[in-house]
Amino acid sequence: MGWLDWFRNKRPTPVLSAAPHSPPANPDLLRSAPELQTAIGYQFSDLFLLEKALTHTSYAASQERAYSYERLEFLGDAVLELVVSSYLFQKHADLNEGTLTKFRTMLVNTLHLADRGKDLQIGKWILTAKSVSNSTQVITSNSILADVMESLIAAIYMDGGLAAATQFIQRFVITDHPTYIDELQSFNFKGQLIERCQRDNLGTPEYEITKTTGPDHEPNYIMQVVVNGDVVGFGEGRSKKEASQLAAEDALKNWEALFDRGSHQHEL
């Protein structure tokens, strides 16, 4: 077993809890815990971690608690970035570093995390001091909802390990991001071009480097894509993958002008 497999399967000791498996001090949270755990799709072994993840600083101060969600938020931010980075790296082998970074930013930014928190109605479970006059604003604040999502990720990680945190992140942070999905679909122009060629019985696109410029350590590639014997698009990029993607995009933009679909149909 490699070190990454060991790390992925390791169930961390809940070192953030002074008394492992102690019940939450807040009785309201204890009563609402089943509903919350159903909503997030995870059952805690140590509900004290869940309480910490939901404790706002105002509640901690009013109840003289020595903890709030802030320390867990610090850990959750790191776990979230690790899981999202690993997911994108393994899922999209054709994307370069810059594009992977762009998609990761989409998935871990404050507004997206806050939206996911709103979908899960996390705000109604955040523990705030009753004396806080703007408690409604506190539990609907984008920054606070995003912070609590990260602290919740950390609590799940501490309680159930990286596998449990990964499952939560993939289900609630990654898979339902419409902008990420839309941009990914629009970016994968090579796949779209293959599908278009198959639909119109035009064979498989062929990519050819026509020119290379720049120094050896930082080359720039100019590439053309050929469909059915015709050059249909050009692309230029710092890598062959980037140049071929742009060439495919160029071909798709001009598809209707280049091909009369009916003239290329033939019987199988």
What are the angstrom distances between the C-alpha of 72 and each of 50, 142, 144? 10, 18, 13
**Residue 82, class by beta-carbon neighbours within 10 Å (0-12 exposed, 13-18 middle, 19+ buried)?**
middle
Is residue 243 within 8 Å of 197, Cβ to Cβ? no
End-to-end CA distance of the chain: 50
Is residue 200 within 8 Å of 265, Cβ to Cβ? yes
Catalytic residue among 46, 73, 150, 200: 150
Catalytic residue among 77, 147, 242, 249: 77
Q: From 224, 228, 232, 223, select the one nearest 255 (Cα to Cα).
A: 232
Is residue 208 within 8 Å of 244, Cβ to Cβ? no
Q: How many angstroms separate the CA atoms of 164 and 238, rounded? A: 38
Is residue 122 within 8 Å of 153, Cβ to Cβ? no
Per the rule left: phi > 0, alpha: psi between -120 and 50, beta: everything else, 21 is: left
Q: Which amino acid is at 217?
A: H
77 is catalytic: yes
Is residue 103 within 8 Å of 87, Cβ to Cβ? no
Known catalytic residues are: 77, 150
